[in-house]
Amino acid sequence: MKAIGFYVSPRFQMLDLAGPAAVFEGANDQLGTPAYRVHVLAADAGAVTNSLGMAAAAASLDDAVLDTLVVVGGPIDPPPSVGVQGRLVKASRRSRRVASVCTGAFTLAAAGLLDGRRATTHWRYAARLQRDYPSVRVEADRIFCRDGKVWTSAGIAAGIDLALALIEEDHGFAIAKAVAQHLVVYHRRHGGQSQFAASVDLAPKNDRIVAALGYARDHVAEALTVERLAEAVGMSLRQFSRAFRAQTGTTPARVVERLRADLARGRIETTAEPVERIAEAVGFGDAENMRRAFIRVYGQPPQSIRRGIRSQGAVP
């Protein structure tokens, strides 16, 4: 049985704890055995009050022997004391994996656990993380990020994606997918997916634009012209183009490109599929089109992203 320890501090975010914890609980249900045991930890044993004013009973961090230490997000200021930072470092050395959810990355960074590593956090705080801790290579536009034994996730609900990825590493894709289905969540947003692109479908208030985005996702591997999208939702080309930009702030072509890039990056990072096959599968048509899109979206070609992941031993 793997012990998962969630480290909390006063005014921690409840969903940062409850979301990932529910994923590990769901894995136990799917596996039919107690594969994971969840613990709530704090600097000192006792009740810790979250941002909603509810208390959680926590055990001492010093007593924990863990498979995975997860630092839960909360207020950035003040940073943990030097003494607590040292105790977190010691706990990390006793753990196979270390992770953070949302602003929990600031706690890891303060303890020096992100020095020289790639990391992410909630997009609102990514610039500050980079400014306060220049030795960290902040990748702001990520759902979650892995660098060796250290995993970090974006804001709040992204902790669920992170936990699903950890379960997939332990027990495979099928179990992680079953857990996601049980929790009625998307399986699963890959680490390379944009925090911003992931929320683009939440922005439109126009039901037809929402429907157009859904249609684009469902038919992403096909030719998706503006005319086809407009026809799919029963709008004229001129009306659709104007409404789409007004609702999303960008063009249909850019959104389709981003959807394809996100899907392709997930496969680039997590499989050994040839780049040419991935490009065709997600609708880019050929590797050169995908390469140009990746440079526009991510600032680097697919091969560079795959090399970076392989250097950490994360691609099969």
Range among 17-21, 184-188, 198-202 with highest mean pLDDT value:
17-21
Residue 188, pLDDT score:
54
Alpha carbons 105 and 195: distance in angstroms, whole number: 16
Is 145 among the residues known to form the active site? no
In sequence order, which residues have a C-beta less than 8 Å from that of residue 309 and are 6 or more positions away? 268, 269, 315
Share of the chain above pLDDT 90, in %: 65
Confidence class for position 201, pLDDT limits 50, 70, 90? very low
Residue 105 amino acid letter: A
Q: What are the contacts of 48-52 at 24+ separation with CB within 8 A?
A: 48/8, 48/9, 48/10, 48/12, 49/10, 49/11, 50/8, 50/11, 50/12, 50/13, 50/14, 50/17, 50/74, 51/11, 51/12, 51/13, 51/14, 52/14
Q: What percent of the chain has pLDDT over 70?
A: 91
Which of 17, 58, 88, 102 is flagged as catalytic?
Answer: 102
Residue (of 113, 283, 258, 115) closest to 199 by Cα position: 258
Torsion, Cα of 130, 135, 137, 141 (10° steps): -10
Tell me: pLDDT of 199 over 90.
no
Between CA 53 and CA 3 the distance in angstroms is 27
pTM of the predicted protein model: 0.66
Residue 282 burial (CB < 10 Å; 0-12/13-18/19+)?
buried
Q: What is the mean pLDDT of residues 31-40?
A: 96
pLDDT-derived band at 311, boundaries 50, 70, 90 = low
At residue 228, the pLDDT reads 96
Helix, strand, coil in percent for the chain, rounding step 5: 50, 15, 35
Q: What is the 3-state secondary structure (H, E, C) of 118-154?
A: EECCCHHHHHHHHHHCCCCEECCCCCEEEECCEEEEC
